[in-house]
Structure 1
Amino acid sequence: MSGIVNLRVERVERVEGAGQAPASVGESPVWRAAEQALYWVDIPAQKIVRLRVDSGERAEWRLPEKVACIAFDRRGTVLAGCETGLFAFTLPDAAQASSGEPGRAAVRKLAAPVFEADDMRFNDGRCDRQGRFWAGTMVQDMAAAKPAGALYRFDEHGVLSAPVVDALITQNGLGWSPDGTTMYLSDSHPSRRLIWAFDYDIDSGQPRNRRVFADLHHYAGRPDGAAVDADGCYWICANDAGLLLRFTPQGKLDRQLAVPPTKPSMCAFGGRNLDTLFVTSIRPATGASEHDGHLFAVRPSVTGLPEPEFAGEL
């Protein structure tokens, strides 16, 4: 793969084409098959970044506020969860953005929840198998440990739901089983460290029967962003532990893979055959290693599923 340098850790590679400067909070990797490109965000830098993996061409766009999670509609418009709400972003001027000068995205606000506390933003989000966009909120000061976060559904008609799941501290880990009938959600706050599974009604978009899927108090790290593979297994980034953990649909840990950054933040399957697991990471304020904040590629000998697009028109 062009632009990737092998590391001493077998089967894990740092994606040098992603750029030499580390992200403060790299998050929300999304593989867009139509472009054969990986997109991701740097939350505090207010940036969306794109890498065409085969050519190594990199582009970035500056946004007017922090952006935490993204998805695409069929036309390539970005649906994003940010600080003050959900936005549609059109990413023009790719040539300028590829030249090292960040492009400017055209912005349109779509919806906003009533935040339960001050200093909140959206966090983890993605589309379900039917193309509804789901995203959760959190208080930005994690040390406050306020359970003011909630999970919302934004449907194809442009309607933002009331809170579907509430009392979350640090919402994370959204994912769906291959048939869409199981939804996964986590709370990555150190005091929670739980992953839940729900029965999911694919017609109504309503999750029910919430139960603990995995309690990471029994494992290393905190549950951050996730991906589901074609076998229905759930991959979670174990933040603070430098690990990827794979749980079977029955909630059994069956694989553990070390990655160079201490704080892997989210993973997503990509590549032409969806056989590469891309991993973003966070760079801690103190004690950072040379790998923290960079993008990595893992070849776990399993394949992923295409990332669903938003079913509505943005």
Structure 2
Amino acid sequence: MTIECVASGPFSLTESPVWDSDTGTLYWCDIPACAVHALVPQTGARREWGFPGPTGSMGLCRSGRLVVATGLEVVLFDADSGETTPVATLEAAAGSRANDGKVGPDGAFWVGTMVERQDPDDPQGALFRVGADGSVEKRLDGLRTTNGLAWSADGMTMYHADSRGQWIDRWDFDPASGNMKNRTRIAEPTEAQGRPDGGATDIDGNYWSAGVSAGALNCWSPQGELLSRIEVPVPRPTMPCFGGPDLKTLYFTSIRANLDAAALAAAPDSGGVFAMPAPVAGAPVSRFDD
């Protein structure tokens, strides 16, 4: 399988790749650089925008804008004008920032918080649902490093992971109300499989998870069976997403920060964004109801 680095930066910690099928654009964040990047693969055109705080995640809006989590703020961003519109502020413990986030099939932005220097015996991260009206609902707490949000193509199943808790959960989801119920732990990945970082779903209903500690992408069934494992050319992949005209290109982001000299020599494109052919099409992503 050919895996190509499509954007090499240099970046520090890229995350939250999102494919905009309307414009043929791939977006992603570089969290510590407080930046959002865009690439049009067909032309190679690139753009970059800066934000005031660590930029953990983003999603697409119905209006064509982006919804972005920066620091503990959720904002709307117009890439053409550069205009930023505040939406909500997340209440979190000292030393926290927003981490993984995605737009759900209910049209809300779901985003988690994490404490940068966390006490492993006192997990203080949480998962929030942010509405376009600025409403903020805390849906889960007691999380270490909230991650892995993704929904099935029919919007009826939500996946969520904790990278430090090392589990992946499945929820029944109501796309009309945003209610979640019947939490089921489907996997507790080992270090060899990789701590579960960002996730995405394919059209067949399976869940793709970046094994950030094992240099691999793992494909899990809804029941938690490990269906396939793809070793990638960087030691710390962070999140997959499906893109391309037919949603059959699998993109993924990665980490460069804190890798030692030997790791960087073996994987000099670490921190970059990669692409490969996908064995199955991805589930289309939802858009924020702005």
Q: RMSD between aligned alpha carbons?
A: 1.6
Tell me the amino acid that sits aligned with residue 212 of structure 1.
Answer: R
Summarize deviations over 1:158-198 as a string: whole Å, max 9, x none.
Answer: 3111x101100100000111211111110001xx1100111
Summarize deviations over 1:31-67 as a string: whole Å, max 9, x none.
Answer: 0111101000101111110000000011111112111
Change (3 A) 1:195 1:58: same
Match of 1:221 in 2: 194
Change (3 A) 1:208 1:23: same
Q: What are the equivalent positions in structure 2 for 1:154-303 lying under 5 Å apart?
A: 154-161=130-137, 163-189=138-164, 192-217=165-190, 219-287=192-260, 288=264, 289-303=267-281
Structure 2 residue 2 is the aligned partner of structure 1 residue 11: yes
Secondary structure of the residue aligned to 2:53 is coil
Summarize deviations over 1:107-159 as a string: whole Å, max 9, x none.
Answer: 222111221x2110110011112322101100012575641111111124331
Contact 1:226-1:236 at 8 Å conserved across structures: yes
Once the two structures are TM-superposed, the CA of residue 219 in structure 1 deviates from its matched residue by 4.8
Contact 1:142-1:170 at 8 Å conserved across structures: no
Structure 2 residue 31 is the aligned partner of structure 1 residue 43: yes
* Residues in 1 aligned to 2:43 and 2:121: alpha-carbon distance in whole angstroms: 43
Which shows bigger deviation, 167-176 or 284-293? 284-293
Contact 1:91-1:106 at 8 Å conserved across structures: yes
Contact 1:11-1:300 at 8 Å conserved across structures: no
Contact 1:87-1:107 at 8 Å conserved across structures: yes
Change (3 A) 1:296 1:145: farther
Once the two structures are TM-superposed, the CA of residue 211 in structure 1 deviates from its matched residue by 1.8
Q: What are the equivalent positions in structure 2 for 1:49-198 lying under 5 Å apart?
A: 49-92=37-80, 105-115=82-92, 117-142=93-118, 146-161=122-137, 163-189=138-164, 192-198=165-171
Percent of pairs identical after alignment? 38
Tell me the amino acid that sits aligned with residue 273 of structure 2.
Answer: L
For structure 2, list consecutive stretches of 5 or more residues without a partner in the other structure.
none
* Residues in 1 aligned to 2:191 and 2:35: alpha-carbon distance in whole angstroms: 35
* Residues in 1 aligned to 2:175 and 2:231: alpha-carbon distance in whole angstroms: 34
Once the two structures are TM-superposed, the CA of residue 85 in structure 1 deviates from its matched residue by 1.8
Once the two structures are TM-superposed, the CA of residue 249 in structure 1 deviates from its matched residue by 1.7
Secondary structure of the residue aligned to 2:190 is helix
Aligned residue pairs: how many? Answer: 285
Secondary structure of the residue aligned to 1:217 is coil
Match of 1:6 in 2: none
Contact 2:52-2:71 at 8 Å conserved across structures: no
Match of 1:4 in 2: none
Which shows bigger deviation, 270-279 or 140-149? 140-149
* Residues in 1 aligned to 2:47 and 2:191: alpha-carbon distance in whole angstroms: 40
Contact 2:124-2:144 at 8 Å conserved across structures: yes
* Residues in 2 aligned to 1:224 and 1:142: alpha-carbon distance in whole angstroms: 17
Tell me the amino acid that sits aligned with residue 131 of structure 1.
Answer: G
Tell me the amino acid that sits aligned with residue 94 of structure 2.
Answer: D
